[in-house]
A = this chain, B = another copy of it.
Amino acid sequence: MSKSPVTPPFERRERRVLTDDVADSIREAILSGRIASGARLIEDELAESLKVSRGPIRAAIFRLQQEGLVIHETHRGATVARVSVEDADEIYTLRRALERLAIESACLKATEADLAPMEAILLVFQSVPRASMTRRRVAELDIDFHDALFRAAHHARLYRAWEALRSQILVFLLLRDGLPDDYLTSWHRDHSSLLAQLRERDVAKAVSAIDAHIQAAYGRLREQLLQDSPA
């Protein structure tokens, strides 16, 4: 045992490798809409524009497939995943199952240090002037809050399942336009309520709270989707 037993002084910061940068670049291009939904991802093109060889590109595409942002077919290449109303249904039913387990597990295992990041996000939310809150920023804070919850669950496999969904949820959050005036207010109320329940350690209440939270989010999304593309 050479490492300090209490509060590791510094995490071994994991080395970044080309694949990581490539994956970040492509992910950002997809989320920002610079690469359209359904578009083909051609390895040579990406390799040239990112100034790397095809190896890291292929690895990054594989990773993004794991995240559900791209679809890869053998010998036919990768395309940016299209999202439909049925996809929203899949994503939110699975998300619900995962978040229920996450908050249950977090109630049992989370330390105060685990909850601090969530607290911090709520503070940021309050302190930043509302006018400067872009859709993107709100969406990212939302994802970050839930990400912190999944981390607080101390459940590696659950976290990986969440990672496979996270970016897809972000896609949905980004395509909504014009939030209701009171959205920011209710967002803060809902999330600080979740955090409070987590501190109470009352599993049953926390689970039903997050359940309602996810269902409400799904309801809003459904409304938006049906409005955008009327049947």
Chain A interface (Cβ within 8 Å of chain B)? 14-15, 17, 55, 58-59, 62, 66, 68, 74-75, 90-91, 93-94, 97-98, 100-101, 105, 155-158, 160-161, 164-165
Contacts and interface: CB of A to CB of B under 8 A. Distances in A.
A161 B101 CA distance: 14
A90 B15 contact: no
B59 A90 contact: no
B68 A157 contact: yes
SS of A interface (majority): helix
Given A97-B98, A97-B101, A161-B161, A156 B74 contact: no
Given A93-B158, A160-B164, 4 more contacts: A14-B74, A59-B62, A97-B100, A157-B165
Contact of A156 (B59, B90, B160): B90
A161 B157 CA distance: 10
B68 A66 contact: no
Contacts of A157: 68, 90-91, 94, 164-165
12 contacts: A15-B75, A17-B75, A62-B62, A66-B66, A90-B156, A91-B157, A94-B101, A94-B155, A97-B98, A97-B100, A157-B164, A157-B165
A155 to B, nearest CB: 6
B17 A74 contact: yes
Contacts of A66: 66
Nearest to A105: B93
Given A14-B74, A17-B74, A75-B15, A158 B94 contact: yes
